[in-house]
Amino acid sequence: MPSSRDVVFVDGVRTPFGRSGPKGLYAETRADDLVVRVIRELMRRNPALPPERVDEVAIAATTQIGDQGLTIGRSAAVLAGLPKSVPGYAIDRMCAGAMTAVTTVAGGIAFGAYDVAIAGGVEHMGRHPMGEGVDPNPRFLSEKLVDPSALVMGMTAENLHDRYPAISKERADAYAVLSQEKVAKAYADGKIQPDLVPTAIRTAEKGWGLAVEDEAPRPGTTLEGLAALKTPFRPHGHVTAGNSSGINDGATGCLVAARDVAEELGLTAKMRLVSYAFAGVDPEVMGVGPIPSTERALRLAGLSISDIGLFEINEAFAVQVLAFLEHFGIADDDPRVNPYGGAIAFGHPLASSGVRLMTQLARQFAERPDVRYGITTMCVGMGMGGTVIWENLA
């Protein structure tokens, strides 16, 4: 057995992301059916891959109950028609679930335990709000292990504004407008559609339909419009619905393989995993998580921030992206950062978002053969960050 093998990203797809709630795209669609749609599309798009060669299916969900429960990696694999010999499991690292699914199977591939795996995530926040059914231990507060604000993500974002006083509400709003503009342009230029899998939806009222594009983006968002929004987490605060990601439903998935096996099967590798790292921070400022995780991933790879030509940062909140950029000395509007826009416009169905970042980075790598390294990074509830560094194979 080789001591360690190169791990490559072969392909990634996702459902369009819907708005959560009774009128959202997926209000009456099951979460596991969203994952099934993604797995089937990955297999359809990669006919050179015999289904029995898939060695593992790792699917993340933050709230693992109901139609997101029942060890969803295995149940979705069976529902998708993969051979019963293909195992699967579920993962939870809140927002970084799909990212952790990828890094976990990648470790297995590098070690030689797997050749090919499917990794992804799903979140149906309309059916299962974040934290549904959980019972936080009272010691968290009674022993002051975390600040009371740690369990409310919007309050952690307000705390981040306190820690970075130079990041004003105006800067956060300007970043949000830019994200919306980039997403509108990426859609107009046909950059997003190739990785969306049209997904059947049904409502009792309207009958059958097809979801073919993200529901959350608000093209035409203006600074004036954002300035007027309420600050629900703090009177006269900074964080609004306009400079944060929404509450969303959706699923993502990708094919990850050993580089030599991808070549053997005739699969096109788009990028190589260079290094990855997760880091913990104080839960009440969870938005700073990508800073230490990125520093660690760079150190493991022997790279510096100046080596990175493209950044896909999950925009849970504008302030969290701006804190990352400020730390590394990157301008708010640097063209290397989220060229197609981000979660403020697309939405952020928690555990699924990590693979959306990777799929978009792979698409950008194909357009930019001059760029060698890129990063996918995100903050994680309960005070963590995750970062994966990729090398462009285009």
Contacts of 174 (CB under 8 A, 6+ apart): 223, 332
Using left for φ > 0, alpha for ψ between -120 and 50, and beta otherwise, residue 371 falls in beta
Phi and psi torsions of 111, nearest 5°: -75, -20
Distance CA(361)–CA(312), nearest Å, equals: 7
Check 161, 238, 254, 379 and give the catalytic one: 379
Closest CA relative to residue 265, chosen from 1, 11, 2:
11
Q: Is residue 379 within 8 Å of residue 321, measured between CB atoms? A: no
Check 124, 161, 238, 348 and give the catalytic one: 348
Please calculate the CA angle 54-56-61 and round it to the nearest 5 degrees: 130
Torsion of CA 255, 4, 50, 40, to 10 degrees: -20
Residue 243 CA, chain-centre distance (Å), reads 17
DSSP string, 80-115: TT--TT--EEEE-BTBTHHHHHHHHHHHHHHHTS-S
List, in sequence order, every residue forming a beta bridge with 378; answer none if it has no partner. Answer: 386
Angle between helices 169-188 and 318-328 (to 10 degrees): 100
Which two structure tokens, joined as six digits, stand for 369?
């053969």
Q: Is 95 a catalytic residue?
A: yes
Check 95, 124, 238, 254 and give the catalytic one: 95
Contacts of 231 (CB under 8 A, 6+ apart): 169, 237, 238, 239, 240
3-class DSSP assignment, residue 391: strand
The total of other beta-carbon atoms located within 10 Å of residue 71's CB is: 14
Which two structure tokens, joined as six digits, stand for 45?
């798009």
Q: Is residue 194 within 8 Å of residue 14, measured between CB atoms? A: no
Using left for φ > 0, alpha for ψ between -120 and 50, and beta otherwise, residue 220 falls in left
What residues act catalytically?
A: 95, 348, 379
